[in-house]
Structure 1
Amino acid sequence: MKPPYEDAVVVVTGASTGLGRAIAVGAADQGAKAVVINYASSEQEAEETARQVRALGADAVVVQGDVAEDADCVSIAAAAARFGRIDALFCNAGKTTRPAHAHQLDKLSGDDFLDVYRVNVVGTFQTIRACRELLERSERAAIVATSSVAGVTGNGSSIAYSASKAALNTMVLTLARGLAPRIRINAVGPGFMDTVWFDKLGPHRDKIRASVIERTPLQVASTPEDIAGTVLFLGCEASCRVTGETLIADAGLRMTGG
């Protein structure tokens, strides 16, 4: 059986750390020939992702860009153009507001909403638009957007974040119609992921992690690598008849009220 990403050209936005890095490295491990690694500000960490990709035998191209900027999305696509096509596009770049803003109407501003939407919704749209022509040159084109269980439960790091992910889920459904039959698009909605983002919470991190394990039916705190497996499934031919779906990968957390 051939590797799922054999000879594939892959683009991953927000790939410097966490889930993005796990997707990029996972695709290389599953046979990708080239991985375009996008980052917004963490060049050193993006280069570490590239090092890990190259160690697995794939070509790695690092490109800086903020997906909230349309010109940067065009640059990301241009970085993949040398390979002639894109087989899998992983729109993983995302943003949230500070956790302290959650459900506090008096502290969450319109600008907070706009900043989050520019990356999570508009940025995903702009990236897809910029990459569409290269995706249409592939015989197995797939897009996977990183959503969140918060887009289903409404219980996330902020109201703006949860709303943006719900909007993303709807956009995926709409684009599935517009991009068919040449391109498939789906989303994955993780729950808690044990990433460096939670380092910002200091001593509260361990309490949150323990609480997630206690409340989650599968009694786990997912890692980026856990979720990357689901993402990579939706980006390869194993899911060739799946489009327009949002697959929740939260170890069952939403069943407890999230």
Structure 2
Amino acid sequence: MAKQKGKVAIVTGSATGLGAAAAVQLADLGWNIVVNYTRSKAEAEETLAAVTAKGVEAILVQADVGEDADCRKLVAAATAKWGRVDGVINNAGTTKFQQQGDLDGVQAEDFERINRVNVVGPYQLSRAVFPVMKKQWEEKGERGSIVNISSIAGVMGVGSSIPYMCSKGALNTLTLALAKWLAPAVRVNTVCPGFIQSRWLLGGMGEDGYAKAKAYQETSTPLRQAGTTDQMAEAAVFFLTSASNVTGEFMMVDSGMHLGGLPMRGR
């Protein structure tokens, strides 16, 4: 991809994992970055150092995207520093791991908490940044870009828990709505990762469950590989920076898992 020096992105949940990888990849393209965290300050500082090592500027902002005031704080911090926001990756998310069939394993409060971060958060941040992007479009003809990080859980009905699946399905619908409502000033797209090799999944699934899921990815998906945070971030960065005529689209990054079982072959 061509260098895009001077553009500004807010990447939520960028202390670790996909968010951190996306922040570094954007910095490699010349973007200045708002690195965001809720609790993981030490890891967020590591991301900040990795970003600035690319020769761009970055700031660190603690914010809970489930709080509207914090979403507005993220946008205000970016505009105070650089006077613009060109892109947002709504990556921050949460879940509660639930055993399949254990309907008592989650309660209404779990739905509310997960939905607040995974759906309301992206909505609030998109709403907060829209006036800035709209102004840039009207005055300079520069279109903004928002990328939501969803999951194949919202498409296939598989995942860590039913509240998580529902939240990602709702996030996909939010993408469609915002792609219409924020046009033509802003493009809105979604990446739907499958299994990701990550500390987050390992902690939630446990060593045995994680190993089985990883083995399935490596033996039973069309591409026979378990996805990495860098691969997921590549898709998000593509949507944010390069897909200039694409909006309201979903990209499943899951080694082809959504295609179902493999055909019988002699290999």
Map of 1:1-258 to 2, 5 A cutoff?
2-3=2-3, 5-32=4-31, 34-82=32-80, 83-100=82-99, 102-138=100-136, 139-200=142-203, 201-204=205-208, 205-236=210-241, 238-256=242-260
User: Residues of 1 paired with 2:64 and 2:133: CA distance?
Assistant: 20
Please give the secondary structure, in 2, of the residue aligned with 1:169.
Answer: helix
Q: Which residue of 1 aligns with 2:139?
A: none
User: Residues of 1 paired with 2:21 and 2:65: CA distance?
Assistant: 19
Q: Is the 8 A contact 2:151 2:194 kept in 1?
A: yes
Q: Deviations over 1:150-207 (max 9, x none)?
A: 1100111111101110100001101111000101100000000101113314432323
Q: 1:103 and 1:128, CA in 2 relative to 1: closer, same or farther beyond 3 A?
A: farther
User: Residues of 1 paired with 2:153 and 2:118: CA distance?
Assistant: 13
Gaps of 5+ in 2: 137-141, 262-267
CA RMSD of aligned residues (A): 1.4
The one-letter code sitting in structure 2 at the alignment partner of 1:90 is I
Q: Is the 8 A contact 1:194 1:222 kept in 2?
A: yes
User: Residues of 2 paired with 1:147 and 1:241: CA distance?
Assistant: 21
Please give the secondary structure, in 2, of the residue aligned with 1:233.
Answer: helix
The one-letter code sitting in structure 2 at the alignment partner of 1:59 is E
Q: 1:103 and 1:148, CA in 2 relative to 1: closer, same or farther beyond 3 A?
A: farther
Q: How many residues align?
A: 253
Q: Is the 8 A contact 2:217 2:255 kept in 1?
A: no
Indicate the percent of aligned positions where both proteins have the same amino acid: 44
TM-score (norm 2): 0.91
User: Residues of 2 paired with 1:216 and 1:49: CA distance?
Assistant: 32
User: Residues of 1 paired with 2:101 and 2:124: CA distance?
Assistant: 29
Gaps of 5+ in 1: none
The one-letter code sitting in structure 1 at the alignment partner of 2:189 is N
Deviation at 1:2, TM superposition (A): 3.4
Worse-superposed segment, 209-218 or 48-57: 209-218
User: Residues of 2 paired with 1:219 and 1:137: CA distance?
Assistant: 45
